[in-house]
Structure 1
Amino acid sequence: MTLDLTGLPPTLEEVDAFLKDRSPSDYEKVVDRLLASPRFGERMAWDWLDAARYADSNGYQGDGERTMWPWRDWVVKAYNDNLPFDKFTVWQLAGDHLPKPAREQLLATAFNRNHMINGEGGRIAEENRVEYVFDQTETTATV
């Protein structure tokens, strides 16, 4: 259960505590502890970040660094806070279009900025735009 919910093996202390607990709710106690752990959000965010093509680099030949970790941290926090899925998705797709969006709702829209960025000289601006829109549409439909 520890590996499934946190992505980490249990510590020896956690295994010993579980084996010593003879109460009928021993399993539930472990699940509750794991769900309350910040590691839970990190593990649950893993699949979403992968599908949303999260990266802190541009992804092309120059592969320059970019700052996307605040969005990653928002996703982890959303899982740890048990943010309802409808809000989780709406905020990422259109948080900036909500009436008086909060900073958290604006940050969530970084989902739309995860695409690869090509800084190659001589690129045709409209070609770039179409590729970015296609990538965003494909990713949104996939997730």
Structure 2
Amino acid sequence: MGILYITHRLTTCVPDFEDQLLPIDGIKLNLATNPLKVLGIFENNFIFPHIDGNSRLTIKLFVIENCSSSHFILGNDYLIMYRMDLHNNKDQSFTIGDNIQRSAFLPFKRQIKLSKVSPVNLELEKFKSKQLNESEIGLHLTDKQES
């Protein structure tokens, strides 16, 4: 899992997140100074913008009440799975995939707005896309008509 998030930050994105928390059993997390109060696990989709196309990551967040950090941390498992590379030099940036030359620069000091993304049924989306591509009228439909 490897991801931490603080309740007051998550509240700005998903006000009713507490209703969606998964229980946490037998896991204890500690900082150097004190134990962390873990409320549960929040699983959701997040979209990271990139010049080659946005990346949708389904991530699990440890929701922590008493942590003073103002950011969330992606664990190595996500960095490897989604082929992400974080650069913490003078011009903090990130790269997704092999495209290092055209990496997207993201100033981390700026406030980033995260929006809740509804879960997507990938099989249904693939089926709809295939059916629309194979039909003659599919190219002429609006998004509302496709739904």
Q: TM-score range by the shorter chain?
A: under 0.3
**TM-score if structure 1 supplies the norm length?**
0.22
Higher strand proportion, which one? 2
Tell me which protein shows more helix as a share of its residues.
1
